Structure 1
Amino acid sequence: MAALRAVVQAGSGRALLSTPRIVHTSRANMSFSSLSRSKQVAAATVAVVSAGGAGLALMLQQSVRASDLELHPPQYPWSHAGPLSSLDHASVRRGYQVYKQVCSACHSMEYLAFRNLVGVSHTEAEVKALAEEIEVVDGPDESGEMFTRPGKLSDYFPKPYSNPEAARAANNGALPPDLSYIVNARHGGEDYVFSLLTGYCEPPAGVEVREGLYYNPYFPGQAIGMAPPIYNEILEYDDGTPATMSQVAKDVCTFLRWAAEPEHDQRKRMGLKLLLGTALITPLLYYMKRHRWSVLKSRKIAYRPK
């Protein structure tokens, strides 16, 4: 029995060793080119529709969401937006009047002094009269006491609140930002500020705004603590310009652009001079390179022994 068991085991082992391990399977020769024309068109249509649907769904998911209804401000045709366009200084003057009578009640401009207005929107005498309207705490005097004096050209615009805590307490916990560089500090610049000032509206269906806040689709979060600051005929311009809402918003945005970039006109003027100088000197440089320097560059120095 032991011998028979050994023979059986040896035979099964040789059988296992002799069994091929590679299993051949039938290969399906399926390719796009082997399909009929109608099936190719159908497959291509399904692929295009699927890709387009996925792309559209992704775009809608990124741009329109129930929890994010913020609008991007459009681009407005500002008169100073051109590469060689200067600021409208009459609008800057009206914009300062809007800031003084409307915006300065809550917002400061601590980086702007009265002297900065001289030669831009007002004469020196007018700016002196504007500065003297405020009382400035100065000192100490010879006796060590603080005193008040009329403002002068070197003084900065007064702040509406003495400290940030007082500003928050007066505005339901919201801190009104300083407007000195607000145009450069917000994406969209004056387009954003203009859209924010004129974009107050009723919240859409399904959106609730808690008490003390106002709905504005251009503000991040859509709920802003600032009440609508401007409306038609909110003030009367000194030059007689109709004070519509859009006109008031345009003027204060132009003023804020100048405040954030006082060198705006000078920078463009210097750029124009640079372009004119470049246009004059380029032909001269080309002549020197082509007819003068080329002679020196292509000359050959050879040594001739005696």
Structure 2
Amino acid sequence: MIRIIGIAAGAFFTLSVLWAFVTGAYTAITEPAPETAEHAFHKHPRELHLQSDGPFGTWNLQQLQRGYQVYKEVCSACHSLKFVAMRDLEQLGYSEAEVKAEAASWTVPGVDPDTGEATTRSGEPTDYFPSPYPNEVAAAAANNNAVPPDLSLMTKARHDGSAYVYSLLTGFQEQPEKLLEEFPQAKTPAGLHYNPYFANLNLAMAPPLTMDGQVTYADGTEATIDQMAQDVAAFLTWTAEPSLPKRKQTGWPVLGFLLFATILAYLAKQQIWARVKPDKNRQDD
């Protein structure tokens, strides 16, 4: 009796799930959801070609240094880089002395050795890049109740991460008149900024790159808004995965070895079974 009740209960739940699926699919086909402004006007990231792209990609150290300069002089006012140590800058081509000098230019939290009270001090190569705010409450209060995200892994956390960062930085604009005509309720609220590359089209971050020449590059590269956006996107690609080229360089020998091992195994199999001839007169029972 218990077995019959169990089978009946299982059949009931199975049929309920199947019925819900069928009715849901029918509703989705016959009554599609109304189009929203986000669906109609959201854009996919623009194309961005970096030297690190592709199976043989490598870092463009000059571009990474320029991107770090953009982060330091522009982005660090709001965004942290808490998973990156200052000593890692040596990977960008800086010497040990340059890394020490660069670290000393940052102010990081510290502790007074005499009183034990919280204080600040000059950074050291072993320090991680500091947050511009003491806590999330202060960060939200300074940014229209939106906490600026940490940028260490941003290009890994977003689809088409490098291109997304580049597109977002260069995508701030006025709302299209067509959008306001079709979706008047989607007008950008006060304090927010329209950007078609952002998921819901409006974000609290104001355009960080506002004019050409906002940063003066040490290598003489012309610092247009587009160039600065590309450079900082390349830099954040490095912060998210600094071992990217090394991983690619390691992958090719591994693939070569696996291919060689596969061929060797096949030849060994052929050699071992070469003397074994099938018995044509053998009949299966």
Q: Which residue is equivalent to 2:194?
A: 215
Q: CA, structure 1 residues 240+279, in 2 after alignment: closer, same or farther (shift >3 Å)?
A: same
Say which SS state the counterpart of residue 214 (structure 2) adopts: coil
Is the CA contact (8 Å cut-off) linking 1:92 and 1:121 kept in structure 2? no
Say which SS state the counterpart of residue 136 (structure 1) adopts: strand
Q: Which residue is equivalent to 1:269?
A: 249
Q: Deviations over 1:118-146 (max 9, x none)?
A: 13342221111111123334346366455
Q: Which residue is equivalent to 1:32?
A: none
Query: Could you tell me the TM-score, scaled by structure 1's length?
Result: 0.71
Residue 154 in 1 paired to residue 126 in 2?
yes
Residue 248 in 1 paired to residue 228 in 2?
yes
Say which SS state the counterpart of residue 81 (structure 1) adopts: coil
Q: Which residue is equivalent to 2:267?
A: 287
Residue 176 in 1 paired to residue 148 in 2?
yes
User: In the TM superposition, what is the alpha-carbon distance from 1:226 to its structure 2 partner?
Assistant: 1.1
Is the CA contact (8 Å cut-off) linking 1:136 and 1:151 kept in structure 2? yes
User: In the TM superposition, what is the alpha-carbon distance from 1:237 to its structure 2 partner?
Assistant: 0.5
Q: Which residue is equivalent to 2:160?
A: 188
- What letter matches 2:197 in structure 1? Y
Say which SS state the counterpart of residue 108 (structure 2) adopts: strand
Which stretch of the first structure deviates more once superposed, 81-90 or 162-171? 81-90
Is the CA contact (8 Å cut-off) linking 1:141 and 1:147 kept in structure 2? no
Is the CA contact (8 Å cut-off) linking 2:67 and 2:235 kept in structure 1? yes
Is the CA contact (8 Å cut-off) linking 2:66 and 2:232 kept in structure 1? yes
- What letter matches 2:244 in structure 1? H
Question: Residue 127 of structure 1 is aligned with which of 99, 103, 108?
Answer: 99
Question: Residue 172 of structure 2 is aligned with which of 191, 200, 206?
Answer: 200
List gaps (5 residues or longer) in structure 2.
Answer: 1-28, 280-285
- What letter matches 2:230 in structure 1? K
- Select the structure with the greater relative contact order (CA < 8 A; seq sep ≥ 6): 2
Is the CA contact (8 Å cut-off) linking 2:80 and 2:130 kept in structure 1? yes
- What letter matches 1:218 in structure 2? Y
- What letter matches 1:200 in structure 2? F
Q: Which residue is equivalent to 2:108?
A: 136
Q: CA, structure 1 residues 149+272, in 2 after alignment: closer, same or farther (shift >3 Å)?
A: same
Number of aligned residue pairs: give it: 240
User: In the TM superposition, what is the alpha-carbon distance from 1:182 to its structure 2 partner?
Assistant: 0.8
User: In the TM superposition, what is the alpha-carbon distance from 1:154 to its structure 2 partner?
Assistant: 0.7
- What letter matches 2:238 in structure 1? W
Say which SS state the counterpart of residue 184 (structure 1) adopts: helix
Q: Which of 1 and 2 has greater Rg?
A: 1
Please give the alpha-carbon distance, in whole angstroms, between the structure 2 residues aligned to 1:129 and 1:168: 32
- What letter matches 2:84 in structure 1? L
Q: CA, structure 1 residues 283+99, in 2 after alignment: closer, same or farther (shift >3 Å)?
A: same
Which stretch of the first structure deviates more once superposed, 236-245 or 67-76? 67-76
Q: CA, structure 1 residues 81+191, in 2 after alignment: closer, same or farther (shift >3 Å)?
A: same
Which stretch of the first structure deviates more once superposed, 251-260 or 124-133? 124-133
Percent identical residues = 43
Q: Which residue is equivalent to 2:8?
A: none
Say which SS state the counterpart of residue 92 (structure 2) adopts: coil
Q: CA, structure 1 residues 218+147, in 2 after alignment: closer, same or farther (shift >3 Å)?
A: closer
Q: CA, structure 1 residues 214+148, in 2 after alignment: closer, same or farther (shift >3 Å)?
A: closer
List gaps (5 residues or longer) in structure 1.
Answer: 1-57, 301-306
Say which SS state the counterpart of residue 118 (structure 1) adopts: helix
Please give the alpha-carbon distance, in whole angstroms, between the structure 1 residues aligned to 2:70 and 2:161: 18
User: In the TM superposition, what is the alpha-carbon distance from 1:260 to its structure 2 partner?
Assistant: 0.6
Query: Could you tell me the TM-score, scaled by structure 2's length?
Result: 0.76
User: In the TM superposition, what is the alpha-carbon distance from 1:72 to its structure 2 partner?
Assistant: 1.8
Residue 164 in 1 paired to residue 136 in 2?
yes
Please give the alpha-carbon distance, in whole angstroms, between the structure 1 residues aligned to 2:49 and 2:104: 37
